[in-house]
Amino acid sequence: MFILKTSNSISQIARLRSPKFRQTGSNCTLSFWYYNYGESVGAAELRLLVDGLKKPTVLWRTYYSEGNQWLKAVIQLGRLPHPFQFSLDKISLGVYEGVSAIDDIRFENCALPPPALSCEGPNHFWCRDTKACIDSLLVCDLVDDCGDGSDEESCDPDLQCDFENGLCNWEQDAEDDFDWIRIQGPTPTVNTGPLKDHTTGTATGHYLYLESSEPRQFQDKAVLLSPLFNPSAHGTCAFRFHYHMFGKEVYKLSVFQRTVSNAKGWLLWYKFGNQENRWIRQTLFISSSKPFQILVKGIVGDGFTGDIGLDDVSFLGCTLYNGKNLPTVSTTTSGTSVPATLPMNNCTEKEFVCRASGHCIHMIQKCDFRPDCSDESDESACVSEVCDFEDKDLCGWYQPALEQMSGNDSILITKTFKWQLGRGANLYPEEEQHCPLTDHTTCSQEGWYLFADSSNGEFGDTADIATPVISLTGPRCKIIFWNHMNGSTIGSLEVLYKSSNKTSKLWSQTGSQGPQWNRAEVFLGIRSNFQVIFRAKRGVSYMGDVAVDDITFEDCSPLLISDKPCTSEEFMCANKYCIPKSNLCDFVNDCEDNSDESPSI
């Protein structure tokens, strides 16, 4: 079906209504192909009209001509228990021609789960009226998966929060940079954040979100604190939540667990970057021999299209702790510092000794971007996951060539073409013509960055700065960094991969790229026992310094084999790893054994 705009009338509106639908299941999605082309073709939006609600919910929008092509839209509907219909509204502007069209409308996974003759086992729940058999992890998660509400009856309200009436028993952290915001409908910024909540699937429902627009700055953090829970053995406590990370500049959402009140805890899970315009469910299994607390931390990205949403948080198999606070530890005890000498242990030469507890972990778990020791000592002598070079910190990066020089070579070191920390405030007049005046992190002359000083060395000299050996990375690991290459005689910048004595080039850029910071992304994937090297090559003169800033290793921790079965939203790899079903058949070896890309799926 198409609309042909040829009239000179301004703001013509065409409206297409769907039939009325009775309800949908919790995994329902709507997809269609659309065409919107013309100099002033105008905007279009799809709205959800639910019986009993006066306010419509916008599900999808396009604002302008998107070229002479068909594009696909996928919309997450989720559980809608009341009758509803859709309205597709098209607004044309101006006096030029424009064509809008829609085709191949498809509903998927929209039926309620079918009835079952039996539903046995501890991992299943038999719905009371619909007789559907669902995963027990879907019970008391604030979603009516049964279709009759029986999976959400007799639930402890202190173990769940849909944010419809506030934060429940969750609290904002007083020691972070800003707070999560409770909101209805879309976030204030276009092309980022949710359009609706997850609980109701409409603009009337509430959720929390992290605002990334001004006055927020890159890497500002907002932390949400759960209530306190009793010890949980063998992962019997499950934490479920739904998150939304949509926008070109979305940065990071992570979940921590802590047993002392003045520590940030240890990382349980994290996600980087744009995850598309949808709510995604995540389940984490928690083990703790002590009372504990969960922290949900969102970090602002480098721009205003980086809003992050959070909704429908719930716990299953957990009990609330009666104490008022978790204990505190001094800065000299375990968890906040790494002892200089090894504690008593029974570790072999092929194992790493956790410095505080003396526990043994496999050496492959050292420097793998996942803390496996309670004091995080296995990640202490490694490259940092995120490095902005502020406080003049190199985050574990080092220069092999300089370390080979002795102290007697101080004059030689001074004149060597090498990497060093710099900032705009330290530049001499006219140096800003070929060296960054501001850093990327703070966009100020006081902020620090890393640069290769071309006033030293000769044409063709190279300067390497490397990570310590990285033990293992996951299937979606990549490096994101910002580079500044400006000047008439600038050389080149390369990103290298080194394993044993083999070195290969992953990325390179040569010549002046203009007087601004430019983003670069390098895919690593699954690799083991390797180093990453940034190599700058000097140009023919001093007129051009290569600089880098805000180096991030994104999604690099290796996969974990869970002690629980994969959920209904996950795929079990041949090697027993669990991955999201959305990662199937996407040309990426997410399982590490390629079973997620098998033609037989």
Average pLDDT, the chain: 87
Q: Where are the domains of the chain?
A: 2-108, 159-316, 329-381, 386-554
Considering only residues 469 and 576, tell me which one the structure prediction assigns the higher pLDDT.
469
Fold classification of 159-316 is Jelly Rolls (2.60.120)
Q: Examine the pLDDT at 1 and tell me if it is beyond 80.
A: no
Burial of 209: CB neighbours in 10 Å, binned 0-12, 13-18, 19+: buried
Neighbours of 40 (CB within 10 A): 15
Pick the CATH number of 2-108 from 2.60.40.420, 1.10.287.3510, 3.90.1280.10, 2.60.120.200: 2.60.120.200
pLDDT band per the 50, 70, 90 thresholds, residue 358: confident
pLDDT band per the 50, 70, 90 thresholds, residue 52: very high
Fold classification of 386-554 is Jelly Rolls (2.60.120)
- Report how far residue 264's alpha carbon sits from residue 266's, in angstroms, rounded to the nearest whole number: 7
Contacts (Cβ under 8 Å, ≥6 apart) of 419: 399, 450, 451, 452, 463, 465, 534, 536
pLDDT band per the 50, 70, 90 thresholds, residue 333: very low
- Report how far residue 494's alpha carbon sits from residue 485's, in angstroms, rounded to the nearest whole number: 12
What is the three-state SS of 389-414? CHHHCCCCCECHHHHCCCHHHHHHHH
pLDDT band per the 50, 70, 90 thresholds, residue 580: confident
Q: Which of 243, 298, 252 is nearest to 272 (CA)?
A: 252
Q: What is the pLDDT of residue 470?
A: 94
Does residue 475 sit in helix, strand or coil? coil
- Percentage of the residues of the chain whose pLDDT score is greater than 90: 53
- The answer to pTM > 0.75 is no
- Residue range 274-330, pLDDT digits in tens: 999 999 999 999 988 889 999 999 999 888 888 999 999 999 999 999 988 888 865
Q: Mean pLDDT across the stretch 82-96?
A: 81
Does residue 105 sit in helix, strand or coil? strand
- Give yes or no on whether 159-316 and 329-381 have one common fold: no
- Residue range 196-216, pLDDT digits in tens: 999 999 999 999 999 988 888
Q: Which two tokens stand for residue 499?
A: 């394993």
Q: Examine the pLDDT at 4 and tell me if it is beyond 70.
A: no
| Architecture in CATH of 329-381 | Irregular (4.10)
- Residue range 464-484, pLDDT digits in tens: 999 999 999 988 899 999 999
- C-alpha dihedral over 466, 469, 473, 478, to 10 degrees? 0
